[in-house]
């Protein structure tokens, strides 16, 4: 999973880099923009669903306790009480074999890495280097 997310950072950086480069045709830039957005969505959708389920599980004990229990049997009441006692929102996690958790903060870290590496790629673009070399003079003083 860590390999997959590292690979995703590379793919997202590449898509962002080729979207920003002005030398490419509009269709190619549009392709890389679409690819980057769809790949980012494929990363974020499972994370958002797990976060939504974790929020729902957090609210579940309060919702169960608000149910009027007068019409239920004692066995049903015991089952509901056991359900409330056993539900732990911390048990719901989306992880890579317990190596690291994939949550909203991990997604923010991936986005930060993508932005950082894309800025580095853009700044070290070959065109940028050749333009800077054209405007420099190589003078050796003895």
Q: Quick check: is 139 in a domain?
A: no
In a domain, 105, yes or no: yes
- The answer as to whether 75 is a domain residue is yes
DSSP assignment string, 7-30 = HHHHHHHHHHHHHH-TTS-HHHHH
70 in a structural domain: yes
pTM of the model: 0.55
Full DSSP string of 95-137:
BSTTSSB-SHHHHHHHHHHHHHHHHHHHHT-HHHHHHHHHT--
Residue range of the domain that includes 44: 2-134
Number of structural domains the chain divides into = 1
**pLDDT average, residue stretch 5-30:** 80
Rg (C-alpha) for the chain, rounded Å, is 26
Q: Could you tell me which residues are beta bridge partners of residue 101?
A: 95
pLDDT at 48: 82
Residue 100 · residue 6 · CB < 8 Å: no
What would the mean pLDDT of 20-46 be, rounded to a whole number? 85
Count CA atoms closer than 13 A to 109's CA, side-chain side. 9
In a domain, 142, yes or no: no
Would 40 be classed as within a structural domain?
yes
Q: Helix (H, G, I), strand (E, B), or coil: what is residue 101? A: strand
The 10s digit of each residue's pLDDT in 73-115 is 888 878 888 888 887 777 777 766 666 677 777 777 777 877 7
42 near 11, Cβ under 8 Å? no
Residue 134 confidence (pLDDT): 55
């Amino acid at each position: 999973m860590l390999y997959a997310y590292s690979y995703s950072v590379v793919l997202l950086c590449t898509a962002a880099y080729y979207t920003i480069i002005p030398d490419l045709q509009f269709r190619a830039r549009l392709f890389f923009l679409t690819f980057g957005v769809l790949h980012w969505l494929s990363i974020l959708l499972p994370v958002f669903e797990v976060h939504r389920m974790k929020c729902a599980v957090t609210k579940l004990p309060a919702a169960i306790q608000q149910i009027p229990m007068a019409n239920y049997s004692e066995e049903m009441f015991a089952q509901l009480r056991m359900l409330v006692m056993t539900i732990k929102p911390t048990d719901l996690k989306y992880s890579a074999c317990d190596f690291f958790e994939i949550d909203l903060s991990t997604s923010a870290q991936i986005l930060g890495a993508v932005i950082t590496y894309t800025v580095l790629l853009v700044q070290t673009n070959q065109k940028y280097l050749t333009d800077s070399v054209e405007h420099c003079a190589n003078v050796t003083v003895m």
